[in-house]
Structures are given as structure tokens and as C-alpha cells.
Amino acid sequence: MVCAISLCKGLWKYRGGPQLFWMLVILASLAFPHAADAVVSGTPAPRPTAATEQCANESCHAKLLNRKVTHESVAQLKCLDCHEYASIGEHLFKRLNAPGQGCISCHKKVLPKPDEALSIHAAAKDNCVACHDPHGSNARYELKQTVPDLCLSCHKNIKDSLASSSLVHGAMKPDGSCSGCHVAHFSKLSKLQKEPQPQQCLNCHDRPVQTAGGRTLTNMAELLKDNPEHHGPIRLGACTACHQPHAGNQPLLLSAAYPPEFYAPFEMDRYRLCFTCHTPDLVLQPGPTAPTGFTDGKKNLHWLHVDQTKGRTCRACHEVHASRQAFHIRDSVPFGDGGWSIAIKFTQTPTGGTCAAACHVERSYDHGVRPHSIPFVALLPKAQALVTAQQPMLSPTTAPVEGGKAVSYAVPSPPFTPGVFPCTGCHDPSVAVNTQRRVLQKPHVDIQLHHDEEHRWCLDCHNAQNRDVLRSASGEPIPFSESYRLCGQCHGLQFRDWKVGVHGKRTGEWDGRKEYLLCVNCHNPHSPKFKALTPLPPPIRPNVEK
């Protein structure tokens, strides 16, 4: 600063000096707003003490004190805790710190320790003042806006969903709704959830809930407690596999269509929710090859019940959340508007079962000791990815653990296309993600998805919050160097063979260290099927003299 003052005085002596002098004064006032007087007078400006009243001067920063919620340092006039009197940093921050870095020096618990969190809020990681006013505001926690308006200013996809949906989740309506289910800074769960599902949902659904339309929702906590046979998504902690957590256009905030009637003609579009996880072959194949144990001889009894003009819908026999019997069979089902319940009276046998419902006389079926894996096989790959073949419908497959011990495999670096990694070079984590299925634009226009494209899309495998990693079916991040964990969720048999060196290529010592090629070293992950090979002609038989 002293040098700048001396330079200004020296320039005054030369032609054109006054104009240049005042230009430098203006520049100095921008870079050093509290030091402009020093440039003019040639004497150092007085430096206030830490507890300064000069900052709160009515003509300068007094308005910063007129807030409902005031930052502690501002209330105590400790401006110099964060700012310097003269600095080349933005807003006179100390040591050229960005706003977020300065906050962390006091608020040390805002960000987690390494490997402590599964998800970190991009705003908390990059810039605290994106959400908070560092001096004070009229909202709680010095937020720039009240919640949910502040959250929706970034999460525009949810804002659009709220505006265009006929049903809005009750948890979204009260003030501060987002913070009821999500934490603001970091979480050990995906999507910044406070608690794992279904516990998070049961914080509200532990009592009868009255909807805006006058319907009373079941006390779900009591239902799950009294009925030990829980539906797979509930056992896996995935209520959002069937329900939209924010808003939707289906009854009960379902993610897809599900017939509410007892009787309904069979149409695939009416059962989109069930066939998100279950293969439609359960009801489309009338014969014994259908992937279900509900067969009697050559008859697929699922097809018999459903695939007809007056077909029984799934709810006619199955409880969608929990039941006391295997296969989610209900004790009874309500029928008609008069409160009449039809008793199902299902009894399971080693090779089938007996049903004595009021809709027909007692009948039995025998599936001939079909494989016990059929309930697992009857799931589509997307649903199979949530479970293991060893413990069907109990735990996710993504954790690299075998026999209770962590397992890792030596693999080469992933074969990235040159110049495409890290993906966050283009996919800014702070920008809201468009999760709608759509035709890809540049630079991914050359990607043709032929990998179960009827059921899958990019964000089924790629992490929406951090494109530099993949994601498991349960939302856990998976490094590209461990992509075999992702592939192994659906392709369990191939993954088993890959680990023992039967599928793919394994090199190394037979009794020592081994290295494995990743699946993507041989398969294109977007179109993994190998092209058909033209068969070579048969060998020419040699001429044999007789």
C-alpha cells in the first residue's frame, strides 16, 4: 500500500499525472475500500479493533444488524474474525479464503471426516453462502430463504414435479418439510437421508394418517410389527421402490400404475408397478415353464387367475406390505362397499398348497417340488440386483464381502475413452440432475443403449450426484475400478465364474497373486452382447483312395 501511494504521488509530477492519479484512486477504492483515504491523504488509515463499531456505522453496514437471525460474530461486532480491514481478497476475506473455507474454520462439524459419509451436499462442500447469509437473515439458521423454497431453488426437477403432480406428499407441505427427511450437510445414507427406510417413513406412518381426500392410511408401523412376512422392498429398506417420496399422479403416490379394484381385465399398463420388479412372464405364460411355483401340473395358476376378462388383481390374494403367511398371501380381502371380507384360508404344503376362498370351493395345487430359487428368478434384473441368491430378499449384493471378510480383486485401470474422465469435468455436481429418460445429446450422442434398454437407463448404473463413480441398486457409490460389483448384481452366475477364473481373463500365479480383467475390458457396457460371428466352412475332407 505504501508503494502504491508513493507511485501515485510520483505520477502527479508528470504530464497527465492528475488523470492517472484519480484513476488509481478509483482502482484502489475497489480493491481496498477502507484504504482510499490513505491514497489521497498519504497517511495510513486507522485500523479498527476486533470489536469495532465503525463497521456498524449507520452509513455503511448498519443494515446487517437489522435481521431476525444474526450471526454471532456480527452481533458481537467481531467483524475482523472473518474480514481484514484492507485485503485484495473478495469481500475483504482473510487470507484470500473463499466464503465456505472461512466458515469451516469455526463450523468444523459441518463436513465429515474422510470416508465418514456416503453423500455430501454439494452446496456444503463448495460454498456455504449458497444457502446461508454469513451476516444474518430473516429465516432460521441464517438461511437466505425459508425451506422448502431454498431447496427448490436448486432442485428444480422436484419443484416441477410438485407443480405438475395431482398428489403431494404430506411431508412436503409443512414449513421446513425437506429437513424432516434430509440432513443439510452430509449423511451416511444416500440422498442425504436422516434415517434408513422404512424407519424414516415410519416416523410419520406409525399412526393412522388422514389424507386430503378423506382417506385414512393404515398404521404401517403396527401392520409391519404384527405381520412378519414383509414385502421385499420393505425388507431391503426401499419404500421409494414403489412410492414417490415427493409428489406424483398415481393414487397413494405410487411410482407406476397399480389396479385398485378386486376384479379387473388384464392389461400390462395396469400392472406397471408390479412389473417394475417382477417379470411379466409370471402371468403371460399359461404353461408349466412360467417362472413361478404357483403351478398345478401344466397350468400356470397366476395366468389362470389374472389373464381373463374378469381377472383377479394382485391385491385379491397378496398383501402388498406385510402378511402372516408365505408369498405375502392375505388372510382375507375386503370385497364390495359393504365391508364384507373374503377369507382366503391358504395352507402351504411342501409341494404346493390349498386355498378355500369364498370365490371357489377348496382347491389344491402341486408344483412338483419346483426349484426354491423360483421366487428370485421371477424378478427382473433390476430387482434381482437388490438381493443375493444365497440370501434371497434379505440384503443388498453390493458390499464386497464374502464369508464375513472384505474381498478385493486386482484389476487394471478401467479402459476409459481418452479425455472423458473425470466425468465431473462436464457434469457439475452442483447442478440439479435431470432424471427423465431422454435421447442423449452431445457428447454422448454416439452411445446406443442396448443393455436391457426396455427397463434401464443411464442413472441406473451411473451415480447422479457424482458422475466419477458408479452406483449400486441401493444407491451406494462404486468406483469404476470395482465395476465388477455393479455387473455382478444382475449377472450373478458370470460374476461367480469370473471370481474363480472361468469367465473372462485372469493372469498371475496359480497359488499367489492374480489379476483380473474387468468386464468392460471385453464387453461394451452400453451394448455388451457380442456380435454374431459368421461360421467358417467345414474342413475339406481329404481324398482317400479306395
Check pLDDT > 60 for residue 35.
Answer: no
Q: pLDDT class for 21, splitting at 50, 70, 90? A: low
- Same domain as 409, residue 389: no
With respect to residue 156, please indicate whether it lies within any of the assigned structural domains: no
- Same domain as 445, residue 422: yes
Number of independent structural domains in the chain: 3
Determine if the peptide bond prior to 443 is cis (ω within 30°).
yes
With respect to residue 217, please indicate whether it lies within any of the assigned structural domains: no
- Same domain as 247, residue 364: yes
- Same domain as 419, residue 359: no
Backbone angles phi, psi at 126, to 5 degrees: -100, -45
- Same domain as 372, residue 258: yes
Rounded to the nearest angstrom, the gap between the alpha carbon of residue 476 and the centroid of all alpha carbons in its chain is: 8
Check pLDDT > 80 for residue 295.
Answer: yes
Mean pLDDT within 245-252: 91
| Residue where the block lists cell 475332407 | 541
- Same domain as 404, residue 391: no
pLDDT the model gives residue 397:
32
Check pLDDT > 90 for residue 520.
Answer: yes
pLDDT the model gives residue 249:
92
Distance CA 356, CA 365 (A): 12
Q: Which of 26-30, 92-96, 348-352 has the highest mean pLDDT?
A: 348-352
- Same domain as 72, residue 52: yes
With respect to residue 378, please indicate whether it lies within any of the assigned structural domains: yes
- Same domain as 379, residue 245: yes
- Same domain as 273, residue 243: yes
3-state secondary structure of 4: helix
Burial of 128 (0-12, 13-18, 19+ CB in 10 A): buried
With respect to residue 197, please indicate whether it lies within any of the assigned structural domains: no
Distance CA 294, CA 368 (A): 10
With respect to residue 176, please indicate whether it lies within any of the assigned structural domains: no
**Amino acid in the structure at residue 42:** G
- Same domain as 444, residue 356: no
Domain end, chosen from 114, 140, 166, is at 140
Distance CA 268, CA 255 (A): 15
- Same domain as 350, residue 308: yes
- Same domain as 384, residue 520: no
- Please check whether residue 193 is in contact with residue 200, taking contact to mean a CB–CB distance below 8 angstroms: yes
With respect to residue 297, please indicate whether it lies within any of the assigned structural domains: yes
3-state secondary structure of 510: coil
Distance CA 533, CA 546 (A): 37
Higher pLDDT, 446 or 546: 446
Q: Which of 89-93, 236-240, 525-529 has the highest mean pLDDT?
A: 525-529
Domain end, chosen from 124, 140, 156, is at 140
With respect to residue 522, please indicate whether it lies within any of the assigned structural domains: yes
Listed in sequence order, the residues at least 6 apart from 351 whose beta carbon sits closer than 8 Å to its beta carbon are 366, 367, 368, 369
Provide the domain limits for residue 61. Answer: 24-140
With respect to residue 478, please indicate whether it lies within any of the assigned structural domains: yes
Domain end, chosen from 140, 174, 202, is at 140
